[in-house]
Structure 1
Amino acid sequence: QLGQKDMLIDCQGNWGNVHTGDGAAAPRYIEARLTKFALEVLFNAKTTEWKPSYDGRNKEPVTLPAKFPLLLAQGTEGIAVGLTSKILPHNFNELCDASVAYLQGKKFSLFPDFQTGGYIDVEKYNDGERGGSVKVRASIKKLDNKTLVITSLPYGKTTASVVESIIKANDRGKIKIR
């Protein structure tokens, strides 16, 4: 799932909810097209190199050089032989500011940002050393002896997965639900 799909895809219909973990409706009930931002950033005739297609009747892009750091905006993860990597999603506005600072030769700081909120410990984020970790936390407040309020979720968690973990903790006797 794209970290910030609304930046690139103009969705019509029920595409699910990143906060609850609900999936999208059946494909026949949803439609999508590229946003104006995506068309400008990815499919620009001035920045895209084209070559003839296999039969020479059409042209196809050699690469799609993006004018914006989409990989950082969307986040991604992958596995190679004995190696795994995860790039966490970053904030659109902070990426714009960092891009301008980079082009001007200025120093900048850039850290991940999550749609579902949550807190992040970025102490080792820019070390670039193997085995680095990013710790994320939820925001939980105790209203009274019977009520906990969860205002933000850790990255990668949904309300459904949090409810499920609370029920499992109750079943194991770690917490008591009334």
Structure 2
Amino acid sequence: AMRYTEARMTDVATELLSGITEDAVDYRPTYNEEDEEPVVLPGAFPNLLANGSSGIAVGMATSIPPHNAAELCDAALHLIEHPEAPVSTLMDFVQGPDFPTGGIIVDSRASILEAYETGRGGFRVRAKWSQEDQGRGTWSIVVTEIPYGVQKARLIEKIAELLM
């Protein structure tokens, strides 16, 4: 919106806008046609892949998981040097999604590769846990990472239901 005119930007945000004044992207009229706005950001940083996104449109939906920014940059540098590099080679740099809450992807590399190549598929993620011996024949399960998008409170409720 036009009223938001000032912001403190991080280095990454600055990279998203680098080149904006160099005719690197097309412009379109704003909602009230009083000014113009860029159609896309020039983006010297792979923001969509780094942060992920999800959305629903007429007849289709998308859910792009977040990825490790350093891995993405390494893959981008490789792609600049080798523009015809296959997705399988890029996976040497980008191992798969990098979820902020952790978790372990249980799908095979081949399954992840297919999702990347076709744009279809999903990633199955499970919690990361360990078993701690409490002595006298008892033990505890300690969950250290939960799958992305799983609500912790709901997970605790489900575990409590299983114990009762």
Alignment equivalent of 1:118, drawn from 103, 119, 123:
103
Alignment equivalent of 1:142, drawn from 122, 128, 131:
131
Q: Does 1:41 align with 2:16?
A: yes
Bigger CA drift: 89-98 or 125-134?
125-134
SS at match of 1:65: coil
Cα root mean square deviation, aligned: 2.6
Aligned-pair CA distance for 1:78: 1.8
Q: Which has the higher helix share?
A: 2
Match of 2:50 in 1: 73
TM-score by length of 1: 0.64
Alignment equivalent of 1:84, drawn from 53, 61, 72:
61
TM-score by length of 2: 0.69
Identity value in percent: 38
Match of 2:40 in 1: 63
Match of 1:152 in 2: 145
Runs (5+) with no aligned partner, structure 1? 1-31
Q: Number of residues paired by the alignment?
A: 138
Structure 1: distance between partners of 2:57 and 2:16: 29
Deviation string 1:94-135 (CA, Å, 9 cap, x unpaired) is 001110111110532031111111101343122145862311
Bigger CA drift: 43-52 or 91-100?
43-52
Distance 1:126 1:52, change over 3 A: same
Match of 1:20 in 2: none
Structure 2: distance between partners of 1:122 and 1:48: 38
SS at match of 2:90: coil
Distance 1:153 1:51, change over 3 A: closer
SS at match of 1:156: coil
Asked if the contact 2:56/2:62 (under 8 Å) is kept, the reply is yes
Runs (5+) with no aligned partner, structure 2? 1-6
